[in-house]
A and B are shown apart, each in its own frame.
Chain A
Amino acid sequence: MIREVKIRGFKSIPKLDIELGVVNCFIGANGVGKSNVLEAVGVLGAAAHGTVDDESLLRRGVRPGLPRLFKSSFQDFRSLPHIGLEAIAQTGAIYRASLLNPLESPEPAWSFKTETLTDGTATIVTDGVRSRGNLNPKAGLAAVSMVTLPPDSPATRLLLQLQQFSIYCPNTPTLRGLVPDPQTREPVGLAGGRLAEAVADLRKWSDEVQSDVLDDLLGLVDWAVDVTASRSVQALLSPSVSRSQEVLKFKDRFMASNRNELTAFDASEGVLYVLFTAALCLSARGPGLFAIDNLDQALNPRLVTALTSRLAGWLGNASTPRQLMFTAHNPAVLDGLDLDNDEVRLFAVDRDSNGHTVVRRLVMTPELKAMNSDFPLSRLWMMGHLGAVPNV
């Protein structure tokens, strides 16, 4: 479990320390830097994997950028020559890297200026400014050191969690299986590819452990009584529709029983986004740390509240510990967050008077809790009382 992330000199973030829970919701006006926070973790994940270049960033859903955009640039702020990133695990394990790339004539890959990996008690890798000519400055030492570490070492677990991190940004054509996902992953791709396979796995797991999670999921979608993944859908899908091997098949509760099946191509997009999030949270092959940019897209306010309220339970029930960071713009998301649970955290992201991205965890006061029926978080956000709004 990663407890703290430190970011220095990355894009709109000159300096930021965030303490993470299991469910981490970031809200703020468009352009305040919510995605930059996620991308900073993506860059650290690439560093933990040993290489920070365009390819490794794209794999993690990070928009590749030139050093002049990646390094902070402000009128009042003396830019750091490097980007500094650090993650601290609950075990005390730490991974820290500072990355260099010149503003003029940048290299395809970033160089490691310094790199540190500890397991909470002992230092495993510590490399100051790399001056030794026999080391490749563009290759991370921590990733190499993993081969000598026990798999259950806190340092290994921290590196693995960082390496697995990706920013997911699903889109409807990919979720429907109509277009291939440029970044495929287990259990689903960054854009939502192979959702049918992920749902098949989810069904299998649900049957094995006798979980009612799939029933609960379908309960969120009023019209559907069942969902399966199938290869034989010729009768349901026009031959002109391109499709992946497996296709999601839904059973509609209102349609006549002899023709009540439809595929992901015809299903409402909302159910696909819900299944996508559930697969990432619940699948045994899901990443230990992941982000979803705009978790609320395409979802009805009530549905997104219901979905958000399930996240902590899903992540807690996963076979391996996992954490989610997500951004949202729909106020209804907030009403699904159980902020009494310390592992569910809400962060307001703003730009300060210097234009710097600043993040603050919002903790409910007893007085505010007492007023929740009249002033739920969704209303407070709309009123501007949580911050995280544009001045329009």
Chain B
Amino acid sequence: MSEPLRIALIAEGATEREVIEAALKVSLAPRSFVLTQLQPEATKPELGNGWGGVLKWCHQLAARCQPIGSTVEADATLSFFDGVVLQLDADVATFTYSDLGPTTAAEAVTRGWLPLPCQINCPPVPTSADALFSVLLSWLSPATPGVKTVVCIPAMNTGAWQAAAKLPAGHALLVDLECRTDIEDRLQHLPLALRINKRDRKSRMAAAAAVTQRWPTVTTLCSRAHAFDQAIRAAFP
């Protein structure tokens, strides 16, 4: 039995962690891992949840590696981890900095963060060519993702991966799945056997278990799941 991989997760929320953890169980198998969520973090309410929390975490990291920059995983405070996963939903491309308040909007200008909203591609383009990925890089600058940092932009949200795992082949919601901004809402209103209620822990855990069990299906239906799987395998061979 080898030592488990220690992976830090910066994500929009608890649901995203559960889905990513479910995916990692397959992508990293047979190795085990310890996934520690650094953001959102209950004792740091000032960072907040959602994409605003990810933005502020990235900015704090950027501040730690001024002025010359380094890779994300080279940050000394992350030295107890083997790697980092940074998650951001694709629908962030439709938001604006002023959604987080006037201070953030002003900060975006002074710090040179790339503008939001930004171009959104559907079906998704490779992560590296995604405008939102460039925005994320501007939040991290002068830090950059190194070989042990995996950026995960799952789809409009991680509900797409849950849907791919839970819904039967041919289900109407599987059409243009990665482009559906309302997928989480739609999943909450399905018949009981297929329903995924984001506010119900048991429902979320069942959906996460389905992501693990049906990961090959998820990666077939979701190009970003496939990209994440490949990126994880490359980062932790």
Contacts and interface: CB of A to CB of B under 8 A. Distances in A.
B148 interface: no
Interface in A92-145: none
A15 interface: yes
Given A353-B4, A360-B6, A384 B37 contact: yes
Contacts of B41: 383-384
Contacts of A362: 80
Contact of A383 (B14, B28, B32, B77): B77
Contact of A368 (B3, B33, B42, B76): B76
A387 B76 contact: no
A365 interface: yes
B77 A353 contact: no
A117 B53 CA distance: 56
A389 B8 CA distance: 12
A385 B34 contact: no
Size bin of chain A's contact surface? 20 to 34
B78 interface: yes
A82 B37 CA distance: 35
A15 B42 CA distance: 32
B174 interface: no
Interface stretch (B17-25, B111-119, B220-228): B17-25
A34 to B, nearest CB: 15
B1 A14 contact: yes
Contact of B77 (A351, A356, A385): A385
- Chain B residues touching A, majority SS: mixed
B35 interface: yes
A348 interface: yes
Contacts of B21: 353
A358 interface: yes
A129 to B, nearest CB: 24
B77 A384 contact: no
Contacts of A14: 1
A7 B38 CA distance: 30
Contacts of A352: 4, 32-34
B121 interface: no
B80 A386 contact: yes
B42 to A, nearest CB: 5
Contact of A354 (B3, B32, B76): B32
Given A14-B1, A360-B6, A385-B38, A353 B33 contact: yes
A175 to B, nearest CB: 30
Nearest to B24: A353
A350 B33 CA distance: 10
A385 B79 CA distance: 8
Interface string A302-321: 00000000000000000000
Nearest to A368: B76
Interface string B31-56: 01111111001111000000000000
Nearest to B30: A76
A387 B36 contact: yes
A348 B80 CA distance: 10
29 contacts: A14-B1, A348-B80, A350-B34, A350-B36, A352-B32, A352-B34, A353-B25, A353-B28, A353-B32, A353-B33, A356-B4, A358-B32, A360-B6, A365-B76, A365-B79, A367-B76, A368-B76, A368-B79, A370-B76, A375-B77, A383-B38, A384-B37, A385-B77, A386-B80, A387-B6, A387-B36, A387-B80, A389-B36, A391-B14
Nearest 6 CB-CB pairs, A to B?
A367-B76, A352-B32, A352-B4, A384-B38, A391-B37, A350-B34
Given A353-B24, A383-B77, 17 more contacts: A14-B1, A352-B4, A352-B33, A353-B4, A353-B33, A353-B35, A356-B4, A358-B3, A365-B76, A365-B79, A371-B77, A384-B38, A385-B8, A385-B78, A387-B34, A389-B36, A391-B37
